[in-house]
Amino acid sequence: MGLGQEAVIHDRGRGKHPFAPPVVPAEAYDEKYFLDVCAGSTEWSQSGGTESWGAYEGLVRLAGLRHDETLVDVGTGRGELLAAAVHAGASRAVGIEYSAVAVGLAQRTLQAQGAADLAEVLLCDARAIPLPSQGTDLVTFCDVVEHMTRDELAAALAEARRLLRPGGRVFIHTFPTKTIYDTTYRVLRLVLGRWRRWPRDPRGEYERAMHVNEQSLSSLRRALRRARFTDIDVRLGSVVYLDFLPGARVRAIYRWLATHRITRRLAIADLFATAYKTDGEA
């Protein structure tokens, strides 16, 4: 994730305006999180950073990165997506992080995977990125937006829009959705009569501490619309997440819901979004 403790933004002639400290402090994203908890940690740890979880290459493809495009990856973590972008033909890839631990790990990744010549990592705030306006083709937020409050996300999306060239785009992946926890789980807990035996909140320790803004199809669409993006496409992914569910019966229900068009949104655990900065707009 990419929010800094002492973030400032230069507001064109009106001086520096400090943001409030992030709700989730940078210190929460320590080495244990990145090497033991964060997705892809097994592949990274076992290889010393020379190998990445295959999902990163898949995300670059889904983002539609084209040869010689520039990319800014907000909340770059260990930096695997930056390396994947360089190997896919990006002319430049910049990672944004507010965790000093993540910056160090990402730099190790870029060196280990031969991407350091075309990629770099900045220790800064996602709401005030020290890069020029209209110089980027693609800004990615991969498993990051759920870690930002609504106001933090709004500021980060506004900053992403500033960075983009006219016609540039933002690409988002978020997991898990608010829907699978706060709608589907709660209804099944009540209907199946398990409200005394199932935990009220099925989230894990890290999710409760870090996921301050889990998304639904409608909330993510609204966030992009408020940030003045156009051609907004928010869609379900394909992940059926079952690890948090207490028992085979409810897991079977989630699988069933995920296979039907009308009920998929109740059980699919991830979302994708793509949106554009209007061509010709400053």
Please spell the DSSP secondary structure of 123-192, one letter per residue: ESBTTB--S-TT-EEEEEEES-GGGS-HHHHHHHHHHHHHHEEEEEEEEEEE-S-HHIIIIIIHHHHHHT
- Distance between CA 221 and CA 89 in Å, rounded? 29
Helix (H, G, I), strand (E, B) or coil at 217: helix
The answer to whether the predicted template modeling score (pTM) of the entire model surpasses 0.75 is yes
Q: In what order do the strands lie in the sheet with 119-123?
A: 119-123, 92-97, 70-74, 136-142, 164-174, 271-276, 230-236
Residue 88's alpha-carbon distances to 66, 67, 170, 227, in angstroms, are 8, 7, 18, 29
- Distance between CA 201 and CA 206 in Å, rounded? 13
- Distance between CA 65 and CA 92 in Å, rounded? 11
Superfamily of domain 8-276: Vaccinia Virus protein VP39 (3.40.50.150)
Q: Give the closest residue to 279 by CA, choosing from 137, 67, 173.
A: 137
Please list, in sequence order, all residues whose beta carbon lies within 8 angstroms of the beta carbon of residue 255, skipping any fewer than 6 positions away.
Answer: 240, 242, 267
Please list, in sequence order, all residues whose beta carbon lies within 8 angstroms of the beta carbon of residue 248, skipping any fewer than 6 positions away.
Answer: none
Encode the chain (282 residues) as per-residue pLDDT tens digits: 444 333 333 333 333 557 899 999 999 999 999 999 999 999 999 999 999 999 999 999 999 999 999 999 999 999 999 999 999 999 999 999 999 999 999 999 999 999 999 999 999 999 999 999 999 999 999 999 999 999 999 999 999 999 999 999 999 999 999 999 999 999 999 999 887 899 999 999 999 999 999 999 999 999 999 999 999 999 999 999 999 999 999 999 999 999 999 999 999 999 999 999 997 666
- Distance between CA 141 and CA 157 in Å, rounded? 9
- Distance between CA 88 and CA 66 in Å, rounded? 8
